[in-house]
Structure 1
Amino acid sequence: MLTQSLQLHCHRAIEWHHAGSAIAALDHSKCELCKVPPAEADKLELTSLIKKSATDLKGKELELNKSNFEAVGTQAAVLAGFAICMIVKIDFPDDVNPVSSSLYYFFALINLVGNIACVASVACVNIMGTSLGLRGPDGSMLQAADGMHKQRDRIFWAFTTGLVGCALATLVLAWLKMQPVTAALCTAVVLYGVASGVKVSLHVQKLFRYKETESGKVDDVLSSETVGPESFVRQLGVDSDTLIQLLAKIRRRRQVLLLVALARRDGLHSMVVRRQAAGTPEVIFRTAAVLTGRQ
């Protein structure tokens, strides 16, 4: 068994040597693939791979923004329904203070308008953004993801306006419908809730704050002809070991493509491509001349 294995490996080595000699004797000056510098071809293929990864990353960002906006829009729609009930369902006696009732309706309308604006913005951004990213021209995924990211602050501010209007309308309603002691307790609870919400929002904003100039921009990778700085590669999740593996894989692939192109051009045929268990490609060219000359 061992002897047969050694004979098989020797036979493959002889075939590889003869095929290499036959290919080396060809006229490489007429082959277009040979005219491309190896380093430049590897660089272009690696750039294409990174651009594909950048586009996939922007697609994930677009889906993330879409899901976040849908969650905010759902809550805003619920609050808008509460605002309509606050305006329509609640009646006040005739002897109520007109200033207090006016403040109540004013804050209720702020609640309604802010939440409706939030729902409308979410609907427009999600529909237009996803349509542009999936059906637009080349580079539209980048434009759609960045556009949705820029509209994030406007949507959150509209939702915040609706929340503040709802809280203030509830506070005024407590003084209009309840006894002074109960109204004071409700006022304390509402103010504590508003203060806690503001504090948590500021803390979270400070925790996740970053400068746009310090982040790697994927649009530079997508719009350039070469691979950008190292921060772009890190943002795409490609480390140094992966880059080395990619470059090695690209070089092996180019060698296979070069041999295939030369074989097709000069009549070499019956190509067999095999991969060993370690992943190293083994290319064996069997030609009629080699087989008849060595048998």
Structure 2
Amino acid sequence: MKLTRGKVVGVLAVLVILAAAFWYGGGAPGLQGWTVEKTTPPPVSLETAGSTPQTTPLPSASPAPAASALPAPTENPAAQEETEPAATPAPTSGIESRPGGLEGGFTAEEKIAAAQAIAGGSSPGVEKGDAAYSEAHGMVLDPNTGKDKYLTDPVPEGKPLPVEPQDASISDTAYTCTLSISCATILDNMDWLDPEKVELVPEDGWILEPTTVTFYEGESVFNVLQRTCKQKGIHMEFENTPMYNSAYIEGIHNLYEFDCGELSGWMYKVNEWFPNYGCSRYQLKDGDVICWEYTCDLGVDVGGFYSTGG
């Protein structure tokens, strides 16, 4: 095709117009006279490699006022009285007479001593024993302490002496005895009771009414309690106390020591006598009557602290 001078000029004019439009209207970097600045990232050190990248925190909306900017407290006593709550009056329930007071008052050592007294052994106030009678029937007393090696006081005249569990010989000869478990004292001291235990206390106080049970010659009060509770589905928890060579009953029917006062726990009596030794050491005889009773006051409320025998 043969181009004329006019056509060439026209084509060049079109190219110039297109170039100008592209130069001023294009959106790519470098086409409007600006360039992208390339920055080289800083080298990563071995100490920070693998650590969580940190981000620049956003500025807080408004800084907290300085302490000096806060208004000073009023010095008007009347205004202060209006804002101060009234003092809570002290409770006036029977819990004020609870052993140890409202906030307790017994040390850990005193609680242990109370528990040991309840468990048997050297309980003060249990009927005074007879050393001559006890020694004549085989009880070995330390002349320095007046107690046996398990810290047991002499036994009152006419009462059975303790028999060590390791020395007991259990035969197949069966006998019967009567066993009962009562927490009736709690009914008179419900304001002392742990609130979580209220629903556990029977309305009449009987956990087990007097029941005739079988035992075997040589068995102890503990043996009978343990077996009967298992047969009747009654919860019972104990702890062996080597110091007294006997089991100590911590809880029956989920009612534990100290649940109803700091002098509370389980005590036992046989034929209306509270032995001054543990239940594992009391060997039963045919026809014995065993009563387990919950005390709220170290035996005073059940006759076990100042027992006079029977």
Smaller-chain TM-score bracket: under 0.3
TM-score, normalization by structure 2: 0.23
Relative contact order, CA 8 A, sep 6+: which one is greater?
Answer: 1
Greater share of strand:
2
Whichever of the two has the greater Rg, that structure is 2
In terms of fraction of residues, the more helix-rich structure is 1
